[in-house]
Amino acid sequence: MKTMKAVCIYSYGGPGVLKYEDAPRPHPREGEVLVRVHAAGINPVDWKIREGHLKEMLHHTLPLILGWDVSGVVETLGPEVKRLKSGDEIFSRPDISRDGAYAEFIVIKESEVALKPTTIDHIHAAALPLASLTAWQTLFDTGNLAAGQRVLIHGGAGGVGHLAVQLAKWKGAQVIATASAHNHDFLRKLGADQIIDYKTVRFEDVVEPVDLVLDTLGGEIQERSWKTLKPGGILISIASPPSAEIAKAKGVRQAFVFTEPNAEHLAEIAKLVDAEKLKVIVETILPLSDATRGQELSEHGHTRGKIVLRVI
């Protein structure tokens, strides 16, 4: 049996449950490709799954390889693969119910794979799929964000936030973002029109009414966000489902989005990157064997841009 290095969990728990070890190399079945992973992005969902927060929703079988952001090269094809060929450089946000990309190889459905942007390396391409799909699906698919509208993006400097700021600007929206002071120059360079230091200012006291709020934090931030919406505006959360009753009472709309794999969206995102309209920022690069450190950094909650594991 061929093996590969991988980072697995055998039980839910703290960072200590992550095991860097030899695992069986997977085989592609119908409609799937085997990808040699060059880099794997880290997202908060990785440590949330490790801690068991999503076990009721996702029903994983353990042991499980974590990590659902990948950039790499197609190694072999399963039967009935139509679009991809071996040697293609790809990126993907694969199916989160299956083994992930903290590994030397991953099997992915062809329908979840797009050709990676040609102007960036695998490290940067691996930082993109989950966070950029989240920004795309919240702002455009659910929010129907249009030119001239105003959008408030919480956590503007984070993985999702820094891409959402740029995508909203690309669409022609006016962008207000929250971040602590040390991230303000960073966000200004990405195009944010107004940046609010959430540590010293109550955003709801200074924001003119907006058409859309992207809530990346939930809890108290979500509660205080209702006040910032125009009549008919929409509060979209990726952290926790907003109350339909409150939305109705306030004459606004609400949605919770759980990001889905989407190769067509990724192809659009790759075009924007190659046209220099969208830039992904990678703050920290670690070797695969240091996944524990990467997850600890992510869990701290103050990443600027993204953290990526280098596999090759």
Ligand X SMILES: NC(=O)c1ccc[n+]([C@@H]2O[C@H](COP(=O)([O-])OP(=O)(O)OC[C@H]3O[C@@H](n4cnc5c(N)ncnc54)[C@H](OP(=O)(O)O)[C@@H]3O)[C@@H](O)[C@H]2O)c1
| Contact positions vs ligand X (CB under 6 A) | 43-45, 48, 130-131, 134, 154-155, 157-161, 178-180, 183, 198, 216-217, 221, 238-239, 257-259, 298, 301-304
Q: Which is nearer to ligand X, 29 or 55 (CB)?
A: 55
- Min CB(176)–ligand X separation in Å: 12
Q: Which is nearer to ligand X, 13 or 219 (CB)?
A: 219
Residues, the chain? 312
| CA 147 and chain centroid, separation | 24
- Min CB(1)–ligand X separation in Å: 35
Report CA Rg, the chain: 19
Q: Using DSSP bridges, classify how beta strands 306-310 and 32-42 pair: parallel, antiparallel or unpaired.
A: antiparallel
CB-based closest residue to ligand X: 158
- Min CB(220)–ligand X separation in Å: 8
- Token pair listed for 224: 């205080």
Contact 93, 261 (CB under 8 A): yes
Q: Which is nearer to ligand X, 23 or 247 (CB)?
A: 247
Residue 177 buriedness (CB in 10 A; 0-12 / 13-18 / 19+): buried
Identify which of 310, 4, 301 has the alpha carbon closest to the alpha carbon of residue 154.
Answer: 301
Q: How far apart are CA 103 and CA 303, in angstroms?
A: 23
Which residues 6+ apart lie within 8 Å of 233 measured at CB?
A: 209, 210, 211, 212, 213, 252, 253
Q: Which is nearer to ligand X, 33 or 214 (CB)?
A: 214
Distances in Å between the alpha carbon of 285 and those of 49, 74, 155, 293? 21, 23, 21, 11
Q: How far apart are CA 8 and CA 119, in angstroms?
A: 32
Helices and strands, counts by H and E, the chain: 11, 16
> What residue has token string 């952290």?
239
Q: Which is nearer to ligand X, 5 or 98 (CB)?
A: 98
Q: Which is nearer to ligand X, 58 or 239 (CB)?
A: 239
Q: Which is nearer to ligand X, 44 or 233 (CB)?
A: 44
- Min CB(299)–ligand X separation in Å: 8
- Min CB(292)–ligand X separation in Å: 16
- Min CB(237)–ligand X separation in Å: 8
> What residue has token string 């069986």?
24
- Min CB(215)–ligand X separation in Å: 9
Contact 199, 214 (CB under 8 A): no
Q: Which is nearer to ligand X, 105 or 203 (CB)?
A: 203
- Min CB(84)–ligand X separation in Å: 25
| CA 283 and chain centroid, separation | 15
